Amino acid sequence: MLNPAYKYLFLDFETTGLDTTKDEPIQIGILSLNPQGEVVNSFSSLIKPSRQTEELKTIVTYLTQKQQKDLQQAPDIHEIVAQIQPFLQENTILIGHNISFDLTFLQRYTDWSPIYTIDTFLLAKACFHFLPSYALEVIYHHLPSHQTTSQTAHDALDDCKMTAEVFIYCIQRLHTIRHQYAILDYALQNGSGILTKILQRTVKPYKFTNKELFFPPLRKPVTTKKKIIRTKPVDILSAGSNSVSYVGNTTLQELLDSLPRPDHQRVITVAHPPKVQIIKLLLDQLGIVTSSLHDIRIFLPDRVNKFLHKDTFDDAELLFIAKYLSHHQFTHTVMDINSADDYKIFYALTTVKAVETEQVIVCTHKQRYTKEQDLLAGAHILFFDQDRRRHTRGDFLQQPFDPYQFLHYLEQKVYEYTLLDQCVDADIFQAILTAATLFF
């Protein structure tokens, strides 16, 4: 299943806090797997921090269940380093959930560096869709029931075991998808990252030079075709386009029962994302076609074709392809875009489609006031949760400049123009990105 040329090591630290410059480890867990995914060896120990245990934050005890008296009797980090040396070998791939955090602590006390690292936080986002969170324990509990055993979150060794199960499941998912979709197998064989190195290669020499490539379309949502009888017209809906209405005092069902077929676009905004799904479901039951702001973006065939014909694919691109094909396999209607790399690639491959006038757009207040707000020009905006709307608008108007968001925007533009071979524009954005990175 995995490349036998490498050793696979899982690492987790429980710490006194999240500040890698000041906090200290209080427990370590290590787990090694062979290429068949079987546990070869493991190690776990509490670690006595250098400062007095009475100074530890209460949250540490609450989360990890590690008592101060237990830590006082534990070996210090230097004793632990001597015990874990047999695990720190050459040709070892280090795997963990948000592994950069744990690697920072490991390298504080050792000179060892893995040849590659794999973050199951990013890997899981390609294989698990629409989870409420991508915390390790949440992903773990969404594994198929036959995969799971009883583990305790925030115990270092148990976290390693959970991470290993998530990792093995994701690798199996990638194998399943690559065997069903030739384009992923082609991309993996031409990958430049760690995924290509660890997955067993196929022998098929795919050639797509003269073939137009595109993602298989996701299943379209099915709407019921019903004759809508409206006996309770709501005056608030008689407003023209490019207007704002507050409908917080109108019951949702009354509003939807009397919603006329609009002669211009309607936008219903609510405070919280779960309400979006509720309203979309109720509208669907009324036979009214809806979409979300995410649905407004569509893939461009020429850009996708160019993307899938790349000579090499990095891990972010491989996971994006795998994620899309996994959505298709599970018959999802929309793609779950949930990482910075996803957004970078997604926006490079898509454009804004013309919105049909009879559609009702459902979104949150936050979406209404962010980058997609210009798409709603000329629409009639119906605000639910009026008090919350004022708060959201205030947050939007007063938000400080976010340098990381700016850097992500520049990275997205560099990627987009590089993909389209617009070298001049890419060079300009790369120069700005380099200068901004140095400045921030």
pLDDT at 225: 47
pLDDT at 390: 66
CB contact at 8 A, 245 and 379: no
Q: Which residue has the tokens 């704002």?
A: 244
pLDDT at 231: 40
pLDDT at 23: 87
What's the CATH architecture for 7-180?
Answer: 2-Layer Sandwich (3.30)
Q: Where are the alpha helices (DSSP H) in 268-371?
A: 273-285, 301-308, 315-329, 340-349, 365-368
Could you tell me the end-to-end alpha-carbon distance of the chain, in angstroms, rounded to an integer?
A: 43
pLDDT at 230: 40
pLDDT at 434: 87
The whole-angstrom separation of Cα 322 and Cα 316 is 10
Return the half-sphere exposure (C-beta side, CA atoms, 13 A cut-off) of residue 237: 21
pLDDT at 180: 93
Helices 301-308, 403-419: crossing angle, 10 deg rounding? 80
Tokens read off for 323: 């994620």
pLDDT at 151: 62
Task: Give the Å distances, CA to CA, from 184 to 56, 204, 313, 345, 420.
Answer: 48, 12, 10, 16, 21
Task: Give the Å distances, CA to CA, from 119 to 11, 31, 94, 326.
Answer: 11, 15, 9, 19
Pairing of strands 380-383, 25-33: unpaired
Burial class (CB in 10 A: 0-12, 13-18, 19+), 167: buried
Residues of the chain with CATH 3.30.420.10: 7-180
CA geometry: angle 281, 287, 288, nearest 5 deg: 75
Consecutive 10-residue averages of pLDDT for the chain (440 residues): 94 90 92 95 92 59 60 90 95 97 96 96 94 92 69 81 96 94 91 91 72 86 46 42 49 57 68 77 71 78 94 95 95 86 93 70 77 64 71 68 82 90 86 80
Q: What is the pTM of this model?
A: 0.80
pLDDT at 264: 61
